[in-house]
Amino acid sequence: MGRHGTIAGRKAAQDSKRAAMFTKYAKAITVAAKDGGDPDYNASLRLAIEKAKAISMPNDNIQRAIKKGTGELGGASYEEMTFEGYGLGGVAVIVEALTDNSNRTTSSVRSTFDKYGGNLGTPGCVSYMFNSKGVLVLDNEDGDLDEDTVMDAALEAGADDMVNEGDSFVIYTDPADFTDVLTGMKDAGYEFVEADIERVPTVEATPKPEDLKRLSKMINLLEENEDVQKVHHNCAVELLDE
């Protein structure tokens, strides 16, 4: 199973959180569009749009988010925030947020850490344990995909590596190459369960079984926070959904 979870778990999580994901991706597009609404001349916006399309976000939502960012439609002004700390079992956690109220977001994130036995640290206290990478996940639950064929397509598109996780193939890229690899693979006919820039841990932590439930609850609640864009962690085992 591993820290990435099964492909079925990925699909279930994506389906159950789709509305919240649309809201989070819309915020990211709005922020990126402040530097220009044409993705051909704004790499950050192009990446945000590609990530939104990867989760089947409707084009109307994307265009509305762009117009909010360019000022054509009214909208909130968002600030980027990053929190670092530890959960139970020494699991390193990084929380990335976009918010229109930094005090509210800081209070909420801190409260969630405190409630479930974690603690927030200073900037940089855990980020050194992660590398930023583009991560693209292909469903192979039915075993229909040929590993060598997918690997060849991924490398041709500019990927760095691919890992066979049994029911899925996980493709890794340099963050700067993420959009090109995603576009190249989609042009080759591949669709992804997940596609995003992730912080991939270089070391992992394994919490005790008795700590896993509270750790999972903490991370799940952080992910459900409407101000939180991403939660990265280095837990070596699959988290619980409850």
- The residue assigned the tokens 């000022």 is 71
Residue 36 included in any domain: yes
Kindly state whether residue 154 falls inside one of the protein's structural domains.
no
CA distances in angstroms from 73 to 21, 67, 220, 227, listed in the order given:
21, 5, 32, 20
- Total of domains in the chain: 1
43 part of a folded domain: yes
Residue 31 lies in a domain: yes
What CATH code is carried by the domain that includes residue 31? 1.10.10.200
Amino acid letter, 158 = G
Flag whether 162 is in a domain.
no
* Cross-strand bridge partners of residue 82: 96
Q: Do the domain assignments include residue 134? A: no
Beta bridge partners of 80: 98
pLDDT digits (tens, 9 = 90+) for 59-92: 999 999 999 999 998 877 899 999 999 999 999 9
46: in domain: yes
Pairing status of strand 119-120 against strand 130-139: unpaired
- The dihedral built from the CA positions of residue 120, 124, 125 and 129, taken in this order, carries a sign that is positive
- Check if the beta carbon of residue 95 is closer than 8 Å to that of residue 214: no
Q: For residue 18, tell me if it sits in a domain.
A: yes
Per-residue pLDDT of the chain (242 residues; tens, 9 = 90+): 234 567 666 556 555 567 778 888 999 999 999 999 999 999 889 889 988 887 889 999 999 999 999 999 887 789 999 999 999 999 999 999 999 999 999 999 999 999 999 999 999 999 999 999 999 999 999 999 999 999 999 999 999 999 999 899 999 999 999 989 998 999 999 988 888 889 999 999 999 999 999 999 999 999 999 899 999 999 999 998 76
